[in-house]
Structure 1
Amino acid sequence: MRRVGNYELGRTIGEGTFAKVKFARNTETGKSVAVKILAKSTILKHRMVDQIKKEISIMKIVRHPNIVRLHEVLASRTKIYIILEFVTGGELFDKIVQQGKLPEDETRQHFQHLIDAVDYCHSKGVYHRDLKPENLLLDYQGNLKISDFGLSALPQQGVGLLHTTCGTPNYVAPEVHSF
């Protein structure tokens, strides 16, 4: 089994365009974590250095029960390892696909968690900009947790509006497409 720092890496639990997420166990504490692995060559090739630095700095700022927690960041010569809280319940998207319409009381609880976390982020000057069911995870108790701050923004002091268009096309508001 491959090791990174105090972590034994296991199976792949997610894959994105630029990263792979693996299950891992802290060999000192026995706690489970998720490890987001980014190849430095890919980051350089796609000019994503500033974006990755921003994502990590944002994850260090946001500490809330409804946001996936950043534990630490490690690096090797070729890779960056972002050690995150392991959230066992999977994506809200998968639950909706599997179950269809969710019960109203459960949906209300998820919405309350989402609004609490978004309000907290905004109070810290953090704007996620890619909220969608695939980026909302559920823990073993059904609590919602926001993940993937890759498109987030930290506007400079005094700036009221963000002017870059971003987000997942299927979820972006129609008026954003008109730019």
Structure 2
Amino acid sequence: MFEVAGPTNARIAGLYDLEQTIGQGHFAIVKRAKHVFTQEQVAVKIIDKDNLDIESREHMMQEVRCMKLVQHPNIVRLYEVIDTQTKLFLILELGDYDMHDFILNYCHKLHVVHRDLKPENVVFFEQLGMVKLTDFGLSNNYELGTQLKTS
């Protein structure tokens, strides 16, 4: 698991004040940040390049190329890339919630697991300006302390 050492109030390139962690994976951590001059809230994906092998570095650069290419209202926007000796900072549009926080936590509170999350099961309602989770065909209702079977 990737971790960033140091205070949460660090500043990136004199432009962004880092705030709390909002996500994390094996090679990166995502923090909420605020632009020093505009006060705009952004998400900053911080990738520690020292922890990456050659193949992972290539995937990282491919991610940047793809995000620069896809400019669409329903895709998180990449505002800027700050590349340092040891870290890569992707400055991203900040969303209000991720699907886990907003939709899956609701299902889990009702003891329902979806079990088939994929892009095709998240549908967009243009007139409403929202996405909704669909296809509960593989879902299951569970009781706390019980184990679900795969079939």
TM class by smaller structure: 0.5 to 0.7
Residue-by-residue CA offset, 1:35-84 (whole Å, 9 max, x unaligned): 000111112x3631111111000000111110000000002221110000
How far did 1:142 drift? 6.9
Deviations 1:124-154 (A, max 9, x none): xxxxxxxxxxxxxxxxx9745xxxxxxxxxx
Of 34, 46, 63 in structure 2, the residue corresponding to residue 25 of structure 1 is 34
Contact 2:124–2:130 under 8 Å retained in 1: no
TM (norm. structure 2) is: 0.64
Matched, 1:3 2:11: yes
The aligned counterpart of 2:124 is 112
Residue of structure 2 in register with 1:138 after alignment: none
Conserved 8 A contact 2:35-2:42 = yes
Q: Which residue pairs with 1:41 in the alignment? A: 50
Q: What is the identity, as a one-letter code, of the residue corresponding to 1:30? A: Q
Unaligned 5+ segments in structure 2 are: 1-8, 111-121, 132-151
**Which residue of 2 is the match for residue 150 of structure 1?**
none
Structure with bigger gyration radius: 2
- Give the superposition deviation at 1:96: 2.8
CA RMSD of the aligned region, Å?
Answer: 2.2
Contact 2:22 2:31 in 1 (8 A): yes
Whole-angstrom distance in 2 between the partners of 1:62 and 1:41: 28
Find the residue that maps to 1:94 and give its secondary structure: helix
- Residue 87 (structure 1) aligned to one of 95, 115, 138: 95
Larger proportion of helix: 1
SS at match of 1:30: coil
Q: Distance in 1 between matches of 2:75 and 2:38?
A: 22
- Matched positions, count: 108
Q: Hey, what does 2:61 align to over in structure 1? A: 53
Aligned to 1:13: 22
Identity among equivalent positions (%) equals: 37
Preserved CA contact (<8 Å) 1:66 1:143: no
AA of the residue aligned to 1:61: L
Distance change in 2, residues 1:77/1:9 (3 Å) = same
Equivalent residue of 2:17, what SS? strand
Q: Name the CA distance, whole Å, in 2 between partners of 1:27 and 1:143.
A: 31
Taking the aligned partners of 1:23 and 1:32, their CA distance within structure 2 comes to: 7
